[in-house]
Amino acid sequence: MPELLVVKNLKKYFPVKKKFLRAVDNVSFSLEQGETLGLVGESGSGKSTLGRSILRLIEPDAGEIIFDGADLRKLKGEELRQKRRFMQIIFQDPLASLNPMMTVGQNIEDPLIIHNIGTREERRRAVEELLEIVGLGREVIDAFPYEFSGGQQQRVGIARALALNPKFIVADEPVSSLDVSIQAQIVSLLYELKRRFKISYLFISHDLAVVRYLSDKVAVMYLGTIVEMAPKEELYTNPLHPYTRALLASVPKMPRDGERQRRFSALKGEVPSPIDLPQGCRFQSRCEYVMETCRKQEPALREVSPGHFVACHLV
């Protein structure tokens, strides 16, 4: 499969009181057509900034974003607009991301109008079809977003993202604000869409179970860098970075056959401030295996087996 998206050494630093918050620090990865990369990490790890920097919703400071053969950071105006047509985003808060003054149909139609696609009649048919695809039904076309529940609003957000037949969608915590039963519906919908339309997702989430369900490969972020990246099954069954291991161990599992956990494996401490990063490995303050080298030298992300990358001195 040809590569749809290649991100190389992407950086985004935010100035904070004469210092820099290194939100995204030298991140590289690639994505094939139809492939989904799950991006996990705790709050402040830089996952959303990375997602938005790729779309240039946040302007990155350095690095390359090769999408469909073109370096996005070198494009301007009309050229950029044409490329971005094929890149969409689904946000966490569905209500805040829809225009409250527009009907559901108008919200979904808007990208088609912006890109001058079809006649009014064709656009209406396209919107109706999209409403069917996301499971809302065409009869809701004239409703307003506030009339909908959170799950239905998120379906509208998904329909809008699909309107221009994108090749790539950044899904930024699309199910985190939803209730359990609704979350399951939206995850199922995203799963179906992925198989049906061969869309590549960058699926951002702190929920390791959801990421496993939807992704082909998974990257774990910590304080602005990818510490481990591997094909899904490899990452979940053979995690190598101490942070990945701790993350996976801290998730409560559904108790089958009465085997319950009363205590959960917990990583010590909390994510340190991303402003004054220590020299060496970013994870050193919470790592139980920390050695002298870890405090001196920052580990590089190396390929340890085909497709499995880890940034740790101990691996």
DSSP string, 93-119: -HHHHS-TTS-HHHHHHHHHHHTT-S-
Residue 81 interacting with other proteins (CB under 8 A): no
DSSP single-letter state for residue 54: H
Sheet holding 62-67, edge to edge: 19-32, 3-16, 62-67, 70-71
Residue 17 interacting with other proteins (CB under 8 A): no
DSSP single-letter state for residue 199: -
Give least dist CB 61 to other proteins, A.
26
Q: Which of 28, 33, 106, 185 binds other proteins (CB under 8 A)?
A: 185
Residue 190 interacting with other proteins (CB under 8 A): no
**Entry field: residues in the chain:** 315
| E-only strand ranges, the chain | 3-16, 19-32, 36-40, 62-67, 70-71, 87-90, 168-172, 200-204, 217-222, 225-231, 302-305, 308-310
Give least dist CB 136 to other proteins, A.
12
SS3 content of the chain, % helix, strand, coil (to 5): 35, 25, 40
Q: Where are the alpha helices (DSSP H) in 134-207?
A: 150-162, 180-197
Give least dist CB 185 to other proteins, A.
4
Q: Which of 132, 147, 191, 303 binds other proteins (CB under 8 A)?
A: 191
Q: Which of 183, 200, 225, 244 binds other proteins (CB under 8 A)?
A: 183
For other proteins, which is the closer residue by CB, 8 or 212? 212
User: Which has the closest alpha carbon to 90: 7, 177, 197, 216?
Assistant: 177
Give least dist CB 299 to other proteins, A.
20
Count H helices and E strands in the chain, helices first: 11, 12
For other proteins, which is the closer residue by CB, 198 or 253? 253
Pair 53, 12: CB distance under 8 Å? yes
The residues in 245-304 that bind other proteins, with binding defined as CB under 8 A, are 246-248, 250-256, 258, 260-268, 270-271
Q: Which among 119-127, 162-170, 200-208, 223-231 is the span making contact with other proteins, rule CB under 8 A? A: 200-208
Q: Going residue by residue from 93 to 112, which x/- string records binding to other proteins, judged by CB under 8 A?
A: --------------------
Give least dist CB 50 to other proteins, A.
17
> How far is Cα 66 from Cα 52, in angstroms, rounded to an integer?
15
Q: Going residue by residue from 108 to 137, which x/- string records binding to other proteins, judged by CB under 8 A?
A: ------------------------------
Binding site for other proteins (CB under 8 A): 42-43, 149, 151-152, 179-185, 187-188, 191, 206-210, 212-213, 236, 246-248, 250-256, 258, 260-268, 270-271
